[in-house]
Amino acid sequence: MKDTLVIGSRGSKLALKQAESIQAELILRHPSIEVRIEIIRTTGDVKTEPLSVIGGKGVFTKELEEALLDGRIDLAVHSLKDLPTIVPESLRIAAICRREDPRDALVLNWPVEASSGGLTSLREGAVVGTSSQRRLAQIKHLRPDLDFKDVRGNVDTRLRKLDEGQYDALVLACAGLRRLGLENRLGAILSTTEMLPAVGQGALAIETRADDAGTVAVVTTLDDAPTRLACTAERAFLRGLGGGCELPIAGYAEVDGEQIRLQGLVADRLGERILRDEIRGSWDKAETLGQQLASLLLQRGANTLLEKAS
């Protein structure tokens, strides 16, 4: 077993919080190992254009994977939703950790009860900030009367812009706000009926070199089986559609005993047309369920919507 492990992380406050949580878990389970964090700058951190312009696939992960392959780090901590569904053969996802709340939330610049009316709480013409095509399409479908503006930057930057009045509301992941200790900014949590989450949202993935047996053995102790099964189905669905996080695709799976319920959604960028369906099956068929749901939506015309959105 190794004496030292180096974790690669992006430098944002949220990424570091996530990496520190993995560091703490590894130290707790393997106290004889020294675990330290190395900050790696990624394309997504240095570019200011919308993700749809710079290319969503891999912009937050490419440099971390290069650092792994170069041997500068032993493991990389990713938000699973940012990790492309096809991992290089020389690398592997050694663990998918227990999932945080996968839902999205409205963050408002006025006081609101957490149980308030969700999207119905927004006045006509309210300015909503989001850089996600998935969120944009679903909200436009439900509330075409709202005004939408792109927003980039880390969570603190986005909240500052909101509080300055540049937006009436933001749509952010519950998981990120909770990990940053910002539960008080959770305005209205959106149900998965209103807003289907991104594939893998709320889950952390730990990536290692495939041939690094020592690191893999240590990291797999953090793997959470129900989360891995759910995310395997979701990622198979996304892979089957040939999409990435920059396209209006959503997928969310829940494991109930020996069954998996997988919901999937494809939309056009304007939210005028949404295709949504679900499939259920045995937990040991997670990959197959994702492929089947992708095929089902493709048969219903999802490929046409994706061509228009790309």
Instruction: Say which CATH number the domain at 47 has.
Output: 3.40.190.10
Q: What is the pLDDT of residue 116?
A: 57
pLDDT confidence tier of residue 71, bands split at 50, 70 and 90: very high
pLDDT confidence tier of residue 24, bands split at 50, 70 and 90: very high
Note if 82 is an active site residue: yes
Residue type, 56: G
Number of domains in the chain: 3
d(CA 223, CA 84): 19
pLDDT average, residue stretch 113-133: 82
Which is the catalytic residue, given 45, 74, 82, 256? 82
**Helix, strand or coil, per DSSP, at residue 240:** helix
State pTM to two decimals: 0.91
Residue 19's CB: how many other CB atoms inside 10 A? 25
For residues 216 and 183, membership in a common domain is answered with no
State the Rg of the chain over Cα.
Answer: 19
With a cut of 90, say whether residue 138 has pLDDT above it: yes
d(CA 89, CA 117): 46
Q: What is the pLDDT of residue 217?
A: 96
Q: What is the pLDDT of residue 120?
A: 86
State the burial class of residue 89 (Cβ atoms within 10 Å of its Cβ: 0-12, 13-18, 19+).
Answer: exposed
For residues 39 and 73, membership in a common domain is answered with yes
For residues 168 and 216, membership in a common domain is answered with no
pLDDT digits (tens, 9 = 90+) for 187-238: 889 999 999 999 999 999 999 999 999 999 999 999 999 999 999 999 999 9
Q: What is the pLDDT of residue 47?
A: 47
Q: What is the pLDDT of residue 53?
A: 46
Note down the domain range covering 109.
104-189
For residues 299 and 166, membership in a common domain is answered with no
Give the range among 115-119, 133-137, 170-174, 265-269 with minimum mean pLDDT: 115-119
Q: What is the pLDDT of residue 242?
A: 87
The CATH number of the domain holding residue 239 is 3.30.160.40
For residues 110 and 49, membership in a common domain is answered with no
For residues 71 and 210, membership in a common domain is answered with yes
d(CA 50, CA 285): 36
d(CA 25, CA 20): 9
For residues 36 and 20, membership in a common domain is answered with yes
d(CA 22, CA 16): 10
